[in-house]
Structures are given as structure tokens and as C-alpha cells.
Chain A
Amino acid sequence: MSVPGHNPPFEVGVESARYELRQSGEGLCLAIGGDWTAFGLGNLPTEIMRSLTEGSRPKALDVQSLGHVDSAGALALVEALGSTAPLEASDRQDLRRLADLVGAPSEARQVTEPAASAINTFFARIGRQVERFIGQIWAVMDFQGRLVVALGRHLRNPKRLRLTPLFSVMEQAGINAIPIVMMMCFFIGAIVALVGANLLSTFGVSAFTVELVGVAILREFGAVIAAILFAGRSASAFAAEIGAMRMNQEVDAMKVMGVDEFDALVVPRVLAALLMVPILTFCGDIGGILGGLLVSWATMDISPVFFLERTVDTVSLTHFWIGLVKAPFFALVIAAAGCGKGLAVSGDTESLGKGVTSAVVQSIFLIIMFDAIFAVIFMELDL
């Protein structure tokens, strides 16, 4: 029951298409050879069009040495000849059928918009940027409002809290991040100690290295490094997970089941971040002090016992608390950026990629900004 006519066979090789313009009795004749297929044609169609001057369209077609032909080749022929008539008159059955398929030569389908004046596009661009900016601010406020409402609901009725996702996020985003956070802070502590020892020894007060390390790690680096790593690991993960669920219509399915997406997706992640970032900060503090301790021991012969004693004696506990107080704020910023960007993903993969990127960039930017604001506040408070 096979169809009459051609079946494009599996091609062993492709012979490049070629053409020749001949002057014959009735007028110009286009002789073609080789494979007129998407693979054999290459840039030939442009060459033909260039060599044909307007009004000198070939009237006849010679297909003596033509190999295979497909719709790409047929379309190129019809465009060059200006009509399907020569193809329909050909003795090649596949050409006749393709002529039917391709139809009469097409008008230029690409509709180009009239070029707008430079001044116009300039203002249009500014307008679009402003609109986008306002839209973003609106989206952030909308998200924050819903988050506050959802958290309030959970406070009134703690049974709403979904424990399984909470613990799973706490493990993946928190516990699993402890080694990398400690390691990172260890190196930062070591660097601070090295630089400090070098600088302070020129004043003959290298013992102050201990205080330098203690204050720098506890007050700043512990919290900031933990938060930045959390943002890199988990803001991206939150945005990607929730964004993929959006693309897959899972979020819509939840909504029609009467499940609030903030209850199911956002609140567990925000709470997990609120609980885990302080713990990570604490781990970072330990790693940083250890780094400083080791470097001081190796380069300045400050014994570990002396280092720890001096830390306890001279570094006020306030520094530790200041570092820890910042952690929940960072956590909130990171989780909100991740979940918010995830929920904003639309149907396509590009918006998913953009969402994940901007979740990370935005949360790291906000971490540094908040840290600067806190620095000013604590300075004013004389802490």
C-alpha cells in the first residue's frame, strides 16, 4: 500500500548543487545538477538571484543531471524562475509534486517595521525602563505583603506549617552547607591573621592580631560569608525549583487544589533560612577563629591556648552578637529573593535562567547593602 512516487531514500552522500544559464531557442534556460536539497544547496540560491538581472528570468528548466530535490530546492527554483510553470512541465514526478507543495512564489513575508526616529526610540527606551522598574518594585512589595500575611497565618495557626519540606530544606540548604562555610571562613580567618601579623609586627604589637581576627570574623565575615554562600547555593536552588514547578503548571495545580503556594513553597523555605543562616554564621565564626589561630601559631609562635585566652579576654561578646543579629535579616532577604524570582518565572526556559541569575545577584547585592546599613547603625549606637 505504498505511495506512488518518490521516497527520499537514505542518502549515502550529498552532491553539491550546481547550475548553469544557457541561451537556447525559446530563451534563457536554467540547467541544474547535483542535489537540490537543504544539505546540497548551500549559498547557491543567493548566487543565482544575483546573476539574474530583473526581466531576464529563465523560461525553461533542464533537469538532466539533477540528483535529489526537496522542498528547499524546489522553493529556491520557484523563487529563481518566478513561477512554478517550468517545474510543473518537467518530466520529474517529484519536482511536479514539490511545485504543488511549494506553490507560487511568495511575496516577501518578513514585515519590517518602519524605522523610528532616534529621538523617539530614546524616549521609548527610557519609558520602558521606568515602567519595568516600577513593575519590579510593585512585584517586590506584592510578594513581601503576601509573605507577611502567610507568616501571620502560620503564627495564628502553627499547625499549618509543613514540616517535611521545612526539614528537607534545612538539611539541603543548611546542614549540607556547613563544611563549605567553615572552610571558607577558615581561609578568610587565615588571610586576616597573615595580613594583620605582617602589618602589626611593624609596630611591634603583633599580639593584637588575635583581636583583629576575633573582631573581623565575629562581627563581619562570619555572617557575611555564611549569607553569601547561602545565597549562592540556595537562592538559586529556590528560584530554580519553584520556577520549574511554575513551568510545569505544578503551581497552578496546587492553587486549584486549594493549596496556597506561599504556605506550601515559600514559608518552609523562609523559615528554614531563618533557622539555618544563624547556625551557619556560628559555624563560620568557629572556622574563622580556627584559621586565625593556626596562622598565628605557625607564623608568630602564638600558642593556641594563649590565642584563645586572649580572644576571650579582649574581644567583647558584643561583636559575636552583632554578627549573629544580622544573620536572620540576611536569611529573609535571600529566601525572599529566591522564592520571589521563582514564582515570577513565566512559561519559557529563558525566564527561568534569568530568574535564577537575578535571585543570586539580587540577594548578594542586598546582603552587602544591609551589612553597610547595619555598620552605620551599630556605629551610631557606639557598639
Chain B
Amino acid sequence: MTSDAPDRGSAAPPIRVTGLRTEFGDTLIHDDLNLDVKAGEILGLVGGSGSGKSVLLNTILGLKTPDAGKVELFGHDIQEGGERDEVERRIGVLFQNGALFSALTVQENVEAPFLEHSDLPMELVGKLAALKIKLAGLPEDAGAKKPAELSGGMRKRAGIARAIALDPALLFLDEPTSGLDPIAANEFDELIRTLRDALGLTVFLITHDLDTLHAICDRVAVLAERKVIAVAPVEDLERSEHPWVRDFFQGPRGRAAQRTYN
């Protein structure tokens, strides 16, 4: 017999964006953008540079107020103050440059969410942080280092360790493999999948990395013309007729990645 945790949560999707419009002054970034992310999936978001991927992430995280439309996380409107705290501790974010607290060591960075949100005894917090640092694939002695003493790849791993500290239900990653060497990037893909399987995460991933899209993404959303123009598994998008999508997946790099994975 296999039982599971009692279902006290709603069946609403982890992320639901409806009719989103975002503008900076006169420039319209998103117009009537809709996106649903399913529980337990790894969703990749692709789009040209400057198409508004990071802005979309900031809007979903509530760092930017939408000019129209609605963003719901687990069925809760993030603009309504009441449940912000509840939502906040169910999500983890890895920003594009890591955004680690530079004055703290890696260990202290990972401990920070626990100190903010829980009353666990310090000893257990220390062990948990060490566990998450190990899970993120960092060597044991990395915990005592300051972010400035780490390489770019290690900083991203430290960022992930902090993002998964509280076992979030939803993990956001902004270009996690950009700037990593191919081996590190592969390891990182592997890490994301392992974490998803181990912690039952839903992952929202912004990336340009065709290998990442092929290797770990269940579905890929394409951001172009201020909208999400398609959400589908990579194989389906490769057959798309849309010019931008075709250029993206059928260019020389796209073909190379396709050959590797088919």
C-alpha cells in the first residue's frame, strides 16, 4: 500500500498568467500574454534577447506590478497582499547572476531562508544547509567561502542551494546554464532533473540553451510578438512553421542539438 501526504492544497496550477500586459513608458513588452505551468513539469521559456523573459519572471514573482491581467501562483493572486508570505516560502528563485548575499558565506546564504521562515534549532539548520549545498553539487569546503571567492558555475550552484533551502514547490531559474562550460552545463541539467525528481518540484526555466531544452524540459513556451505564441514539447516545436521558432530550432545549432537527442 502506498499513501501520500494528505491533499490540503488546491488543484490550481502552480503558475497561471492570464491577459498580462506590461509596458515601460511607451514600449509595450507583453500584450495579452497567457501561460499555464503544470504541477511537476519542467517548463522552458525561450525568446529572443530583449523579448521580455526576465520581465515576465519579475512579474510572476511580484517584483513588478502588471499593467493589466493577472498572475496566480497556486491559485492565489500574488497582487493580493494576504497570502504573500505563504506563497513566498513555497517558491525558490535563482536570478541570472546568482544574487547571493555578498557579505555572507555560502553556508550563511543557504541558512538565511530558514532563519527568516522557521524556528528550527540552529544545529539542524546548519546540517540542512550543508545537505542542500551537497545536493547542489558543491564541495564541502565551499560552505565557508564568500560568494566573491567562487567561480561563476559554483556561484550558480550556491544560488540553487539557497533556492531549494525550504523545499519549494516551485523553482524559478533565469538562464542557469549561460556562461557555463558544456560539462558544467550538462551537470547542471542533470542536477535540475535530480532535484525535480527528489523534491517533486515544478520548474520554470528561462534558457537559450538548446541542449537544456532537449535534455530536461517537458514543455517549452516560446515568447515572441509580446505573447507566448506556443507551448509544446520540443519535438513538436521543431516542426513549427512560425518563422522565429523555425529559425531557433532549425538553425545550425538547433539541428546539432536535434541530432544529439533524436
Contact = CB atoms under 8 A, between A and B. Distances in A.
A and B physically associate: yes
Contact of B124 (A45, A68, A92, A348): A45
B90 A92 contact: no
A38 B92 CA distance: 14
Contacts of B130: 106, 109
A102 B131 contact: yes
Contacts of B166: 38, 70, 72
A68 B5 contact: yes
Contacts of A66: 5
B8 interface: yes
B169 to A, nearest CB: 4
Nearest to A347: B148
A2 B219 CA distance: 11
Contacts of A38: 114, 117-118, 120, 128, 166-167
A3 B124 contact: no
A190 to B, nearest CB: 44
B152 interface: no
Contacts of A67: 5-6, 8
B117 A39 contact: yes
Interface of B: 1-10, 12, 38-41, 73-76, 86-87, 89-90, 101-103, 114, 117-121, 123-124, 126-128, 130-132, 135, 140, 146-149, 166-169, 196-200, 202, 218-219, 233
Interface residues of A, number: 48
B169 A97 contact: no
Contacts of B102: 247, 347-350
28 contacts: A1-B41, A1-B219, A7-B169, A7-B200, A8-B199, A9-B74, A11-B9, A12-B9, A38-B120, A38-B128, A38-B167, A39-B118, A41-B118, A42-B118, A68-B5, A70-B166, A71-B167, A72-B167, A75-B124, A92-B3, A92-B4, A94-B4, A94-B200, A106-B131, A109-B130, A347-B148, A349-B103, A350-B102
B169 A72 contact: no
A252 interface: no
A45 B121 contact: yes
Contacts of A122: none
A3 B40 contact: yes
Contact of B199 (A1, A68, A101): A101
Interface string A26-44: 0000000000011101110
Interface of A: 1-3, 5-13, 37-39, 41-43, 45-46, 66-72, 75-76, 79, 91-94, 97, 100-103, 106, 109-110, 247, 346-350
A11 B10 CA distance: 8
Contacts of B219: 1
Contacts of B75: 10
Contacts of B123: 46
Contacts of A75: 124, 127-128, 131
A109 B197 contact: no
Contacts of B167: 8, 37-38, 70-72
Given A348-B102, A349-B103, A3 B118 contact: no
Given A9-B10, A10-B10, A91-B1, A72 B135 contact: no
A66 B8 CA distance: 13
Nearest to A14: B86
A109 B127 contact: yes
A45 B6 contact: no
Contacts of A347: 102, 146-149
A106 B102 CA distance: 28
A101 B131 CA distance: 9
A310 B238 CA distance: 92
A109 B111 CA distance: 15
B221 to A, nearest CB: 14
A12 B131 CA distance: 27
What are the 4 closest A-B residue pairs judged by CB atoms, nearest first? A9-B9, A347-B148, A10-B74, A2-B40
A5 B196 CA distance: 11
A320 to B, nearest CB: 48
A110 B123 CA distance: 9
Contact of B131 (A7, A37, A71): A71
